[in-house]
Protein backbone atom coordinates (compact mmCIF):
# COMPACT_ATOMS: atom_id res chain seq x y z
CA UNK A 1 0.00 0.00 0.00
CA UNK A 2 2.80 2.42 1.02
CA UNK A 3 4.74 1.52 -2.13
CA UNK A 4 1.70 2.34 -4.25
CA UNK A 5 1.24 5.69 -2.46
CA UNK A 6 4.89 6.59 -3.09
CA UNK A 7 4.48 5.73 -6.79
CA UNK A 8 1.34 7.81 -6.97
CA UNK A 9 3.07 10.76 -5.30
CA UNK A 10 6.06 10.48 -7.65
CA UNK A 11 3.75 10.42 -10.69
CA UNK A 12 1.96 13.48 -9.39
CA UNK A 13 5.23 15.37 -8.82
CA UNK A 14 6.34 14.61 -12.38
CA UNK A 15 2.94 15.62 -13.71
CA UNK A 16 3.20 18.91 -11.81
CA UNK A 17 6.71 19.59 -13.20
CA UNK A 18 5.66 18.91 -16.82
CA UNK A 19 2.53 20.95 -16.33
CA UNK A 20 4.55 23.90 -14.92
CA UNK A 21 6.80 23.92 -18.00
CA UNK A 22 3.77 23.84 -20.31
CA UNK A 23 2.07 26.64 -18.40
CA UNK A 24 5.22 28.83 -18.46
CA UNK A 25 5.43 28.43 -22.25
CA UNK A 26 1.72 29.25 -22.39
CA UNK A 27 2.21 32.46 -20.34
CA UNK A 28 4.90 33.84 -22.60
CA UNK A 29 3.56 32.75 -25.98
CA UNK A 30 -0.23 32.78 -25.93
CA UNK A 31 -0.92 35.54 -23.40
CA UNK A 32 1.75 37.81 -24.88
CA UNK A 33 0.22 37.40 -28.33
CA UNK A 34 -3.37 37.77 -27.13
CA UNK A 35 -2.74 40.66 -24.70
CA UNK A 36 -2.75 43.55 -27.18
CA UNK A 37 -5.71 42.20 -29.16
CA UNK A 38 -7.82 41.62 -26.03
CA UNK A 39 -6.97 45.09 -24.69
CA UNK A 40 -8.11 46.63 -27.98
CA UNK A 41 -11.28 44.52 -27.95
CA UNK A 42 -12.06 45.54 -24.34
CA UNK A 43 -11.79 49.24 -25.10
CA UNK A 44 -13.45 49.23 -28.55
CA UNK A 45 -15.96 46.33 -28.73
CA UNK A 46 -17.23 45.53 -25.23
CA UNK A 47 -19.96 43.02 -26.26
CA UNK A 48 -17.55 41.08 -28.47
CA UNK A 49 -14.99 41.15 -25.64
CA UNK A 50 -17.55 39.66 -23.20
CA UNK A 51 -18.25 36.77 -25.57
CA UNK A 52 -14.56 36.18 -26.38
CA UNK A 53 -13.68 36.28 -22.64
CA UNK A 54 -16.22 33.57 -21.86
CA UNK A 55 -15.14 31.42 -24.80
CA UNK A 56 -11.47 31.78 -23.87
CA UNK A 57 -11.89 30.74 -20.23
CA UNK A 58 -14.21 27.84 -21.18
CA UNK A 59 -11.86 26.75 -24.00
CA UNK A 60 -8.83 26.91 -21.71
CA UNK A 61 -10.70 24.86 -19.08
CA UNK A 62 -11.47 22.09 -21.57
CA UNK A 63 -7.97 22.16 -23.12
CA UNK A 64 -6.03 22.17 -19.82
CA UNK A 65 -8.29 19.49 -18.39
CA UNK A 66 -7.52 17.32 -21.43
CA UNK A 67 -3.77 17.96 -21.01
CA UNK A 68 -3.76 17.08 -17.28
CA UNK A 69 -5.91 13.98 -17.85
CA UNK A 70 -3.55 12.83 -20.62
CA UNK A 71 -0.48 13.46 -18.45
CA UNK A 72 -2.15 11.65 -15.58
CA UNK A 73 -2.93 8.60 -17.73
CA UNK A 74 0.51 8.47 -19.34
CA UNK A 75 2.40 8.78 -16.06
CA UNK A 76 0.16 6.44 -14.08
CA UNK A 77 0.52 3.86 -16.84
CA UNK A 78 4.29 4.28 -16.88
CA UNK A 79 4.77 4.02 -13.12
CA UNK A 80 2.30 1.16 -12.57
Partner 1 sequence: MFFPISNTHISPIYLAVVGFVIGILGGFFGVGGSFIAGPALRLMGVDWNYAVGTDLAHIVGKSIVAAKQHRALGNVDLKLGLIMALGTIGGAECGAQLIQALKRTGHVNTVVSYVAILVYSGIAAFMLWESQKTLRTDKRRSASVKGADSKKDRSAFSPVTRSIQRLKVWPMITLPISGIKISLWTILLVAFVGGLFSGFLGGGAGYIRMPSMVYVLGVPTHLAVGTDLFEIVISASYGTITHAIKGNVDILIALVMHTGAVIGAQIGVVATQYFTGPKIRLAFVPLPLIGAGIVIYTLVTGHKL
Residues lying near partner 1 in the complex (CB under 8 A):
16, 19, 23, 26-27, 31, 34-36, 38-39, 42, 46-47, 49-54, 56-58, 60-62, 64-65, 68, 72
Q: How far is the CB of 48 from partner 1 (least distance, A)?
A: 10
Q: What gap in Å lies between CA 57 and CA 76, rounded to an integer?
A: 28
- Considering the complex, state which of residue 48 and residue 78 has its C-beta at the smaller distance from partner 1: 48
Q: How far is the CB of 77 from partner 1 (least distance, A)?
A: 17
Q: Are 10 and 75 in contact (CB under 8 A)?
A: no
Q: How far is the CB of 51 from partner 1 (least distance, A)?
A: 7
- Considering the complex, state which of residue 62 and residue 78 has its C-beta at the smaller distance from partner 1: 62
| Residue 76 CA, distance from chain mean position | 19
Q: What gap in Å lies between CA 27 and CA 20, rounded to an integer?
A: 10
Q: Are 38 and 49 in contact (CB under 8 A)?
A: yes
Amino acid sequence: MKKQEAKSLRAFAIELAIYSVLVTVYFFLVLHLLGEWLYHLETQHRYMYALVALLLIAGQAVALDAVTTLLFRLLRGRWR
